[in-house]
Structure 1
Amino acid sequence: MFAELAVGGFMVLLTVLIHGVGIFGLGRFLRIEAREEAAEHIHPMSPHGIMVTLALVFGLFTLHGIEIWAYAVVYRIVDAIPTFEQAIYFSTITYSTTGYNSEGLDAKWQMIAAIEGLNGFILLGWSTAFFVTVVARMGRR
């Protein structure tokens, strides 16, 4: 059980770090874009503004993808799931808290899946809060 908690704790720290750095980078990108839009009098709902919003969504999606793949790599390293494809699928449904079941997962590593579910819930919430804040600010310009 200690190994599961240690690996799970490490993964929480790693994914929060990845997410924090990614959100920081996206925030910088958005501040630069906002200055350019203000200087050039570009409306947020213009084609340019829509492309910026799509870039933000893609950036958030990419962050979550990196974090899901990181968990999948761990599942393979500890040999908790037989193939990488299965590990990616399992990690995706666990991270997104869909979590159908732990079929195919080695029972001694189930705590990592539980931790991933909680971790994914928090990180998805963080992204949602960030996105809603950005969209609300766009509406005020």
Structure 2
Amino acid sequence: MTLLIGFGLVALLGIFHHFALLGLRRVTADAKERPNRAIISVFIGLLVIHLAEILFFAGAYRVLLDWPWMGQLNEMGTRWSGLIYFSGINFTTLGYTQIEAAGPIRLVNMMQSLGGFMILTWSATFIYSVWKKALDGL
């Protein structure tokens, strides 16, 4: 059950990221004419998008931790700042944190790391394509 919850959250993450990138693509349609603006817009846009995705998972953890059967995080992971930190560490696939997960919620953590890896590589490919388009215009 927990693995399905993690899968569903990562699926939502991918859907959100897809539409966010479509929005960024519209913003940078003139990359050849305004290369600096396009590259900076994509960088800042991806920063905002990734932060929103980290906050989404932090909120999901908050909800999931209200279900006793999901497991728990140690005391540092019960505050909102701890949840954001925990989510960000998982999203960036660093994995090491002072916040320990116990119980089935660890499967959601694992799925977030997988999703974060996929999203970050997708974003890297996207920013590279905008950068290439912008430089081809020079």
> TM > 0.5 between the two?
yes
Tell me how large the CA RMSD over aligned residues is.
Answer: 1.7
1:21 aligns with 19
Percent identity over the alignment?
Answer: 27
How many residue pairs end up in the alignment?
127
Sort the Cα spacing of 1:17 and 1:92 in 2 relative to 1 into closer, same or farther, 3 A: same
Matched residue of 1:121: which SS? helix
Q: Where in structure 1 do 4 or more consecutive aligned residues deviate above 4 Å?
A: none
Q: Which has the higher helix share?
A: 1
1:94 aligns with 90
Ranges in structure 2 where 5+ consecutive residues have no aligned partner? 66-71
Once residues 34 and 59 of structure 1 are traced to their aligned partners in structure 2, the CA distance between those partners, rounded to angstroms, is 14
Q: Which amino acid aligns with 1:139?
A: L
2:111 aligns with 115
CA contact (8 A) 1:102 1:110 kept: no
Higher RCO, Cα 8 Å, sep 6+: 2
Larger Rg, first or second structure (1 or 2): 1
Asked if 1:61 corresponds to 2:47, the answer is yes
CA contact (8 A) 2:5 2:108 kept: yes
TM-score, L = length of structure 1: 0.82
